[in-house]
């Protein structure tokens, strides 16, 4: 009963802060929609410059294909030799495609100009993908030519993409954004809650009341968990209805994974709250942690890219497991048989964090 | 009811409470008074276990509580120095919450709440958010929340600081009423006129108890005579002259347009002060506090 009143008190305090309420329930919708469009690994409309020194028909045809492709925006065209590096330095284009006449093979059956791609390597990821796209354009042109001559490649590998046949990056990112959202809302709300009690000195009143440390702890965590789950549900609806991302798995498993994850993240947030003396400190801790969690979660870049020395940090990062599970459930429709190891790892991390946080909280109370 | 024996507490090498012994009598009002930083709040926090004492003993009804502060918290209600209720909750919601955490049986809650709201005159404000109450109202609400569990011992840390004079009078009337009901009250105040109302007054400075007793006995034992002097000329200029006289400086203080001189020797040094009028009066608690502060 006491716990019920504590939870009720927490919920009233949250609900009475109208600005916070808007941030909690409208913010996530905006956040998912914006992030959904912004965080995309699809490379489109790469600004390129074209320099055709060969002035041949082949070069003109390839350039035409580049122009028609939605992957490139031809922003600059020239027919004379110049300082291409200067074009890249100005930043108006990300790549310069230079077509030169291949003088040594003018009478070959398939006569092609020499093609040079000068890429701006600052954004290495985009550059690599754009270079790949351009090679694809050239390769397709050559294959079409070979077909006309009745020739073909002796071996071709045809790729079939399952689970995300259109290779939409939002399908990959969307479920991850839901996991991030769950983390942001619960971590920030919970880490601020105990500190607020300390700042208002209501903590003293709670401590000498007849509430046990466990009751205070659970009373603080449960309301945020509830809000987190509601937000997650809102997030799910947005990614499914707005971005048309197929949800192929079981909602039950998704909630189960989120609950296990919440135990970990709420314990971590309470630990921040116990260690911080002011809201400012708690906010700083939370931001710092969130960035680390995010970078080591596999949400943006594969965990496998992390150097082995830092891999341990990724291994104990609860967000990493949730991101993986949520993608498995969403896109592949996998059941627990496929991700039980991740779920167990998440449960182990949760257990460790709950124990550590509770221990620290009890020590804080008995100080 | 509660006795503190040679209790001490230091923070980072600084003694906040230094070898304090104190007797909190049952069904009486004990008032701790002293300047800010004298150690009053730390002493209260030690009583309820929010701060652990370094040494000494706390006895409840003659028995050492050891480290079991629940023995005290189970019979006491503690009101911290700052308003420490939930400002986003209404008066009624605060009362409901604290009634629940203090395990007040549900069937008694409504009746108790009604009586407390009437007693403190807060009935018309029951739906108002605590954060929107005046200073005096806030303190009455805080007092109400601790009275929900009908504690035998009521600990109030500076309950009237920052409260308007009328609300202070009302608040003290409630304290007197609680005493008549047989409750034991221990409170602190920086206002010496208010401290005079206590049955037992404890003067504190730098974590040490200067003197403690009833106002009558404190007066009886006071080693000095008080002379109220109306100076000739501007009181500030006269005080500047007194500051240059070390014998007088430690025995005088300004009170409005008068100067209070405390004679603790055979000679009346106050005669050195150019004056129009010199009248002997009964020393107030303020006079005694200032004297003991200078001559501990």
Residue A155 domain flag: no
User: Does A158 fall in a domain?
Assistant: no
Same domain, A86 and A120: yes
Residues of B with CB below 8 A from A3's CB? Answer: none
pLDDT at A104 > cutoff 60: no
Domain assignment present for B246: yes
pLDDT digits (tens, 9 = 90+) for A247-260: 999 999 999 999 99
Residues 27-46 of B with CB under 8 A from A: 45
Whether B65 and B96 share a structural domain? no
Question: What's the pLDDT at B133?
Answer: 92
Instruction: From chain B, pick out residues whose CB is under 8 angstroms from the CB of A209.
Output: 98, 101-102
If asked whether residues A188 and A73 sit together in one domain, one would say no
In a domain, A162, yes or no: no
Whether residues B92 and B46 share a domain: the answer is no
Give the residue from chain A lying closest to B87, CA to CA: A13
Residues A24 and A114 in one domain: no
Q: Give the total number of structural domains in chain A.
A: 2
CB B53 within 8 A of CB B7: yes
Chain B residues whose beta carbon lies within 8 Å of the beta carbon of residue A4: 100
Domain boundary among the residues A80, A115, A148 is at A148
Q: Which of A6, A12, A208 sits opposite B89 (nearest CB)?
A: A12
Question: Residue A256: is it exposed, middle or buried by C-beta count within 10 angstroms (0-12/13-18/19+)?
Answer: middle
Extract the runs of DSSP E, i.e. beta strands, from chain A. 46-52, 72-78, 95-100, 114-119
Residue to test with chain B: of A10, A205, A215, A220, most B Cβ within 10 A: A205
pLDDT score at A339: 92
Q: Check: CB of residue A66 under 8 Å from CB of residue A137.
A: yes
Q: How confident is the model at residue A233 (pLDDT cuts 50, 70, 90)?
A: very high
The predicted structure's pLDDT at residue A366: 60
Q: Which residues make Cβ contacts (< 8 Å) with residue A46, sequence separation at least 6? A: A71, A72, A73, A94, A95, A126, A130, A133
Chain A, residues 10-49, CB within 8 A of chain B, namely 12-13, 16-17
Give the three-state DSSP class for B78: strand
List, for residues A14-46, the tens digit of each pLDDT value: 888 888 888 888 988 998 899 888 877 777 889
Helix, strand, or coil (residue B168): helix
Q: Which residues contact B150 (CB under 8 A, 6 or more apart)?
A: none
- Residue A266: inside a domain: yes
Q: Are residues B1 and B65 in the same domain?
A: yes
Residues B127 and B4 in one domain: no
Here the ipTM equals: 0.73
- Between chains, do A6 and B101 touch, taking CB under 8 Å as contact? yes
Q: Does A202 touch chain B (CB under 8 A)?
A: yes
Torsion over CA of A328, A332, A337 and A338, rounded to 10 degrees? -50
Q: Which residues of A touch B78 (CB under 8 A)?
A: 204-205, 208
Q: What SS3 class is residue B21?
A: strand
Question: Chain B window 134-153: which residues touch A at a Cβ cutoff of 8 Å?
Answer: 145
Find out whether A300 and A39 touch, Cβ atoms under 8 Å.
Answer: yes
pLDDT of residue A64: 92
Which of A113, A148, A183 lies at the terminal end of a domain, its last residue? A148
| Rounded Cα–Cα distance for residues A226 and A367 (Å) | 30
pLDDT of A108 reads 58
- In chain A, whose CA is at the least distance from the CA of B52? A367
Distance from CA of B159 to the nearest CA of A (A): 15
What confidence score (pLDDT) does residue A103 get?
A: 58
* Residue numbers of the domain that contains A82: 46-148
Q: Nearest 10 degrees: CA dihedral of A366, B1, B7, B12?
A: 40
- Closest by alpha carbon to A170, among A238, A227, A261? A238
In 3D space, the residue among A252, A297, A266 whose CA is nearest the CA of residue A185 turns out to be A266
B161 touching A (Cβ < 8 Å): no
Q: What is the mean pLDDT of residues A35-61?
A: 85
Residue A141 shares a structural domain with residue A284: no
Q: Which residues of B touch A367 (CB under 8 A)?
A: 52
Q: Is the pLDDT of residue A106 over 70?
A: no
How many angstroms separate the CA of residue B176 from the nearest CA in chain A?
24
* Residue B102 sits at the chain A interface (C-beta within 8 Å): yes
Considering the domain architecture, whether residues A195 and A104 belong to the same structural domain is answered as no
Structure tokens at A108: 């070959």
pLDDT at A296: 92
Tally of domains within chain B:
3
Instruction: Kindly indicate the confidence band of residue A213, based on its pLDDT and cuts at 50, 70 and 90.
Output: confident
Task: Give the pLDDT score at A110.
Answer: 60
A163 within a domain of the structure (yes/no): no
Is the domain of B54 the same as that of B13? yes
Q: What is the span of the domain harbouring residue B232? A: 224-294
Does B80 contact A205 at a Cβ distance shorter than 8 Å? Answer: yes
B89: contact with A, CB 8 A cutoff? yes
CB contacts of A202 in chain B (<8 Å) are: 84-86
Q: Is B162 part of any domain?
A: no
Query: Within a domain: residue B193?
Result: yes
> Is B30 in the same domain as B142?
no
Mind telling me how many Å the CA of A29 is from chain B's nearest CA?
A: 27
Residue of higher predicted confidence among A230 and A199: A230
| B159 in a structural domain | no
Q: Look at residue B168 and tell me if it is in a domain.
A: no
Global pTM reads 0.76
**Do A57 and A28 lie in a common domain?**
no
pLDDT at A107: 57
In the structure, what pLDDT confidence band is assigned to residue A367 with cuts at 50, 70 and 90?
low
**Min Cα separation B150/chain A (Å):** 13
d(CA A326, CA A319): 10
The domain spanning residue B177 has which CATH number?
Answer: 3.40.50.300
Q: Are residues B256 and B191 in the same domain?
A: no
- Is B237 found in the same domain as B125? no
Distance, CA of B248 to chain centre: 30
Q: Are residues A20 and A70 in the same domain?
A: no
Same domain (yes/no): A314, A197:
yes
Alpha helices in chain B (DSSP H): 40-48, 70-73, 91-101, 106-119, 135-147, 165-180, 192-195, 215-221, 235-243, 246-249, 285-294
Report the CATH number at residue A54.
3.40.1710.10
A26 lies in the same domain as A70: no
The predicted pLDDT at position B124 comes to 92
Which residue ranges in chain B fall short of pLDDT 50? none
Residue-wise pLDDT tens digits, A326-345: 999 988 999 999 999 999 99
Shared-domain flag, residues B229 and B213: no
Q: What is the pLDDT of residues A285-302, one digit of tens each?
A: 999 999 999 999 998 888
Residue A284 and residue A193 share a domain = yes
Domain boundary among B118, B151, B184: B151
Q: Say whether both B244 and B270 belong to one domain.
A: yes
Q: Are residues B63 and B96 in the same domain?
A: no
Closest CA relative to residue B201, chosen from B217, B184, B224: B217
> Is the same domain home to B206 and B248?
no
Please write down the long-range contacts of A295-304, taking CB distance under 8 Å and 24 or more positions apart.
Answer: A296/A320, A297/A176, A297/A179, A297/A322, A297/A323, A298/A323, A298/A324, A299/A173, A299/A176, A299/A179, A299/A180, A299/A323, A300/A39
For residue B130, give the chain A residue with the closest CA. Answer: A13
Query: Across the interface, do A9 and B97 touch by the CB < 8 Å criterion?
Result: yes
- Contact at CB, B85 and A202, closer than 8 angstroms: yes
Residue B201 forms part of a structural domain: yes
Give the model's confidence band at A145: pLDDT under 50 very low, under 70 low, under 90 confident, else very high. confident
B269-B270-B273 Cα angle (round to 5): 115
A148, A182, A201: which is the final residue of a domain? A148
């Amino acid at each position: 009963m006491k716990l019920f009143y504590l939870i009720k008190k927490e919920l009233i305090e949250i609900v009475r802060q109208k600005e916070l309420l808007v941030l909690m329930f409208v913010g996530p919708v905006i956040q998912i929609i914006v992030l959904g469009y912004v965080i995309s690994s699809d490379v489109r409309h790469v600004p390129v410059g074209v320099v055709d020194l060969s002035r041949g028909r082949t070069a003109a045809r390839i350039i035409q294909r580049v122009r028609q492709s939605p992957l490139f925006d031809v922003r600059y065209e020239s027919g004379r030799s110049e300082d291409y590096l200067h074009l890249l330095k100005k930043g108006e284009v990300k790549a310069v495609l230079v077509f030169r006449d291949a003088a040594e093979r003018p009478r070959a059956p398939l006569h092609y100009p020499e093609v040079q791609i000068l890429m701006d390597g600052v954004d290495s990821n985009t550059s690599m993908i754009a270079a790949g796209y351009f090679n694809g354009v050239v390769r397709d042109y050559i294959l079409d030519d070979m077909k006309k001559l009745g020739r073909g490649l002796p071996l071709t590998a045809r790729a079939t993409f399952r689970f995300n046949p259109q290779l939409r990056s939002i399908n990959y990112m969307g479920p991850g954004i839901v996991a991030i959202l769950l983390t942001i809302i619960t971590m920030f709300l919970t880490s601020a809650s105990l500190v607020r009690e300390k700042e208002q000195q209501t903590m003293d009143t709670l401590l000498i009341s007849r509430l046990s440390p466990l009751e205070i702890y659970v009373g603080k965590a449960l309301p945020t968990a509830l809000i987190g789950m509601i937000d997650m549900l809102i997030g799910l609806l947005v990614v499914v209805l707005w971005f048309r991302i197929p949800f192929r798995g079981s909602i039950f498993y998704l909630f189960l994974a989120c609950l296990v994850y919440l135990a970990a993240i709420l314990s971590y947030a309470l630990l921040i709250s116990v260690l911080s003396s002011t809201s400012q400190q708690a906010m700083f801790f939370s931001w710092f942690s969130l960035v680390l969690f995010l970078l080591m979660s596999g949400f943006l870049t594969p965990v496998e890219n992390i150097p082995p020395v830092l891999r341990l940090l990724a291994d104990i990062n609860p967000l990493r497991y949730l991101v993986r599970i949520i993608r498995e459930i969403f896109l592949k429709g996998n059941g627990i048989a496929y991700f039980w190891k991740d779920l167990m790892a998440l449960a182990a991390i949760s257990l460790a964090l709950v124990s550590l946080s509770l221990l620290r909280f009890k020590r804080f109370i008995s100080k | 009811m509660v006795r503190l024996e040679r209790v001490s507490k230091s923070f980072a090498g600084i003694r906040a409470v230094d070898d304090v012994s104190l007797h909190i009598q049952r069904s009486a009002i004990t008032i701790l008074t002293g300047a800010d930083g004298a150690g009053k709040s730390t002493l209260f926090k030690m009583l309820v276990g929010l701060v652990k004492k370094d040494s000494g003993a706390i006895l409840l009804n003659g028995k050492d509580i050891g480290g079991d502060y629940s023995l005290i918290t189970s019979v006491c209600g503690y009101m911290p120095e700052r308003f420490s209720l939930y400002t986003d909750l209404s008066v009624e919601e605060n009362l409901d919450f604290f009634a629940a955490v203090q395990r007040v049986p549900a069937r008694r809650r409504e009746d108790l709440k009604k009586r407390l709201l009437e007693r403190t005159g807060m009935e018309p404000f029951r739906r108002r958010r605590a954060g929107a109450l005046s200073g005096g109202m806030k303190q009455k609400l805080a007092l109400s929340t601790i009275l929900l569990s009908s504690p035998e011992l009521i600990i109030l840390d500076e309950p009237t600081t920052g409260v308007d004079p009328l609300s202070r009078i009302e608040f003290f009337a409630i304290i007197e009423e609680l005493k008549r009901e047989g409750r034991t009250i221990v409170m602190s105040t920086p206002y010496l006129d208010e401290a005079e109302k206590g049955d037992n007054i404890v003067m504190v400075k730098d974590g040490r108890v200067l003197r403690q007793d009833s106002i009558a006995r404190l007066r009886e034992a006071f080693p000095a005579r008080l002379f109220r002097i109306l100076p000739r000329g501007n009181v500030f200029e006269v005080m500047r002259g007194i500051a240059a006289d070390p014998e007088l400086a430690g025995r005088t203080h300004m009170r409005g347009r008068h100067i209070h001189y405390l004679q603790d020797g055979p000679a009346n040094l106050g005669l050195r002060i150019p004056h129009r009028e010199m009248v002997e009066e009964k020393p107030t608690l303020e006079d005694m506090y200032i004297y003991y502060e200078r001559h501990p």
